[in-house]
Amino acid sequence: MTEKETVTEKIIADAMANPSPAKSMGDPGITPLSPSHAQQNDTDQVPSGPSFVVVVAIDFGTTSSGYAYAFTKEPECIHTMRRWEGGDPGVSNQKTPTTILLTPDRKFHSFGYAARDFYHDLDPSESKHWLYLEKFKMKLHTTANLSIDTDLHAANGKRVKAIDIFAYALAFFKEQALKELSDQTGGEFDNNDVRWVITVPAIWKMPAKQFMREAAYKSGLVSRENPEQLIIALEPEAASIYCRKLRLHQMVDLASTTTQNGFSPTENVGSGMSQAKEHVRRNRQSRTFLVENVIGELWSELEEGDRYVVVDCGGGTVDLTVHQIRLPEGHLKELYKASGKPDKHTFCSGHFSLFYFILFYSQTKLPPLLGGPYGSIGIDYEFEKLLCKIFGQDFIDQFKLKRPAAWVDLMIAFESRKRAAAPDRTNPLNINLPFSFIDYYKKYRGHSVEHALRKSNVDFVKWSSQGMLRMNPDAMNSLFKPTIDHIIQHLTELFEKPEVNDIKFLFLVGGFAESPLLQQAVQNMLQGRSRIIIPHDVGLTILKGAVLFGLDPSVIKVRRSPLTYGVGVLNRFVEGKHPPEKLLVKDGTRWCTDVFDTFIAADQSVALGEMVKRSYTPAKPSQQVIVIHVYCSEKEIVGFISEPGVKKCGTLRLDVSGTESTAPRREIQTLMQFGDTEIRAMAVDVSTGRTVKANIDFLSH
């Protein structure tokens, strides 16, 4: 039996095992006009849309967030946000924590350091009425059936709509950025003059990306009538755009064998980053980064077909992406998507303006308990497990619920010490325990914290008389191990793939990339197979790249379609080919119902803005209303809309009553246009010109 026959039998078996959606809906249905094939635009150029005065990019991170901007008349100057009020000892505050505080009556109060510090200063009897949320971005990836009604849990256990929280956060950044722009220009800055860019992880599915856009609409960042004012940028793409511009003095080359940037790579693995941080600190007063309109020295070393990896290590996610250079002009082309399957489609020709992305996507995932991608918050999770081992899971759960502000205080203290972890560290790390923790534990257990430590058999954590947990360096490093091991495991698997060989550079970006422990682990794993490049101010790499992307969106031309899209149609029933359960007889005609007619297949290259068209005709000539249901699936080959995993994501309802078609068979053209996150569908009655439009909705169906 051939592979095609096997696939066909599998499709028929799935169809027989599932009931018919079309029969239950009772729609008259449509059938393809023969022949039916994809028709792409004559031009590959994406419409440029309106012009903007400034581009503002928002890096909405799991643990920290911020914004940067550049005026279109000065694209070489990228300005980062004003220095945030607040901050922690030993922690850089280039960004502000992704924390939000609502009043007891659920009104927005504050964001970032202001939210965290205000919440911390509240009396415990008062704080339990306030709604404090942190690290809530992860919910968008970990929720299986994400919708507009998805809830988040505040620190006090109360539920709040996720869409409201994300909208409050984006409204906060809008207000901050417009105020800064107004101060810079000396007058009130018009939001219509701003192109907004929001960065999201590459591994996010379509519902999560749409959710972020819906939050932007709700916040007033942009309007539904002007969707092109907002670009959703994938974080590894943004990082790669910025890395193209890197000059030698703007990065650390960990794998170099010669002195670079004034230090020798044979020194301690963290020393290069320490010097880089000092360089950045000295130059941060202006908050303006100059991006030269040239290709960086590293990029000039790359030739046709060369490949490099971007490892984006954030707070909540780790994206591994492989890119390949295509000349001229440093084009990049996309060869593989997340599954790593080879492309079965024709590559686009080389006249596109700058880039093709992405060869390969990969990602790390948390253990089943957390069920999401694995960024630096995995270390926080390990610290919490250690506390549970010492003091008991029941106590930690109660403390978080009854003393939420004190729990936040404890995690702030841990964050500062976490950043001090290094391979060569010999002196202990002290973590302040809030008085509230010590007091509540004694009331809860009837004995002291010191007693709990002695009885816990955790030898590497001691009690200090100053009210601190004293961890030896090996103990702190062990908290990093599960997270780093997971990242290294994914990197190892990636480099073992035959398609991913001869990688010239590995760019390590994202806030977690600053960790000397992670840097050393990546070095040990690669064993000199490729050079490891870390940009200075590595936590702002994605933000700066997102600004560059907003200034020139045409830099990204082609992406992989993550899903297969199509519509449900009727085909003439063929005995022996179609399952008997799919037989539908209408006016003496035998139809096969529930047929999935594919527009774009998963893993297929799609140019941004590309239009795909199909022609259909009503199965019943006298139909007054034409109903077209749009479906999607993660599978590459889909036969029927009743197969497992196929979801309805849109409906087009075209009223043709009171009209007659001059053609023997009325032609209904159905078109789908693929944008960054929005997919638009349209149906046109060719004989009358009547049109109906809809956006594909991943959140409501």
Specify the higher pLDDT residue, 609 or 552.
Answer: 552
3-state secondary structure (DSSP) of residue 91 = strand
Nearest one of 320, 269, 257, 312 to 523, comparing CA atoms: 269
Residue 3 pLDDT more than 90?
no
170/508: higher pLDDT: 170
Q: Which of 272-276, 647-651, 659-663 has the highest mean pLDDT?
A: 647-651
Q: What is the DSSP string of 345-366?
A: SPPPPTTSSSB---SEEEE-B-
Q: Among the residues of 252-312, which ranges form H helices?
A: 271-282, 297-300
% residues pLDDT > 90 (the chain) = 29
668 close to 49: Cβ distance less than 8 angstroms: no
**Dist CA 23 CA 593 (whole Å):** 8
Residue range 221-243, pLDDT digits in tens? 999 999 889 999 988 888 888 88
- How does pLDDT run across 369-386, given as a tens digit for each residue? 222 346 788 899 999 999
15-31 pLDDT per residue, tens: 444 555 555 444 557 88
Element (H, E) at 250: none
Contact at 8 Å (CB) between 440 and 399? Answer: yes
Of 510, 606, 506, 509, the C-alpha closest to 556 is 606
Q: With H, G, I as helix, E, B as strand and everything else as coil, classify residue 593.
A: strand
Does pLDDT of 684 surpass 80?
yes
The model's confidence at residue 546, banded by pLDDT at 50, 70 and 90, is very high
Distance CA(444)–CA(392), nearest Å, equals 11
Task: Give the 3-state secondary structure percentages of the chain, helix then strand then coil, rounded to 5.
Answer: 35, 30, 40
Confidence class of residue 518 from pLDDT cuts 50, 70 and 90?
very high
Q: According to the model, what pLDDT value does residue 144 have?
A: 78
String of b and e for 551-572 (b: at least 16 CB within 10 Å)? bebebbbbbbbbbbbbbbbbbe
The string of pLDDT tens digits covering residues 423-459 is: 988 888 889 898 889 999 999 999 998 988 888 878 7
Res 498: pLDDT: 76
pLDDT value of position 35: 45
More confident residue, 268 or 523: 523
How confident is the model at residue 312, as a pLDDT? 87
| One-letter amino acid for residue 144 of the chain | A
Contact 322, 360 (CB under 8 A): yes
pLDDT of residue 494 exceeding 60, the answer is: yes
Token code pair at residue 448: 């002291």
pLDDT of residue 19: 52
**Res 219 pLDDT > 90:** yes
Is the confidence at residue 361, as pLDDT, over 60? Answer: no
Query: Region 658-665: what's the mean pLDDT?
Result: 72
Give the per-residue pLDDT at 211.
Answer: 93
Which of 12-21, 394-403, 502-511, 605-614 has the highest average model confidence (pLDDT)? 394-403
- Summarize pLDDT for 101-135 with one digit per residue, the tens: 999 999 999 999 999 989 988 887 888 899 999 98
For residue 35, whether the previous peptide bond is cis, meaning omega lies within 30 degrees of 0, is yes
For the stretch 408-430, pLDDT in tens is 889 888 888 888 888 988 888 88
Q: Tell me which residue has tokens 């209303």.
A: 625
> Where does the pLDDT of residue 265 fall: very low under 50, low under 70, confident under 90, or very high at 90 and above?
very low
Q: Are strands 605-607 and 194-200 parallel, antiparallel or unpaired?
A: unpaired
The pLDDT tens digits of the residues spanning 152-209 come to 999 888 999 999 999 999 999 999 999 999 988 888 999 999 999 999 988 788 889 8
| Phi, psi values for residue 75, rounded to 5° | -65, -15
DSSP 258: S
What is the structure's pLDDT at 389?
92
Q: Check: pTM over 0.85? Answer yes or no.
A: no
Residue 673, H or E segment: strand 668-674
Secondary structure class of 115 (helix, strand, coil): helix
Question: Which residues, 6+ apart, have CB-to-CB distance to 585 below 8 Å?
Answer: 591
Of 377 and 290, the structure prediction assigns the larger pLDDT to 377
pLDDT higher than threshold 80 for residue 91: no
Among candidate residues 115, 123, 64, the one with its CA nearest the CA of residue 93: 64
Instruction: Answer yes or no: are the C-beta atoms of 661 and 689 closer than 8 Å.
Output: no
Give the whole-angstrom CA distance, residue 622 versus residue 657.
Answer: 9
CA distance 110 to 169: 9
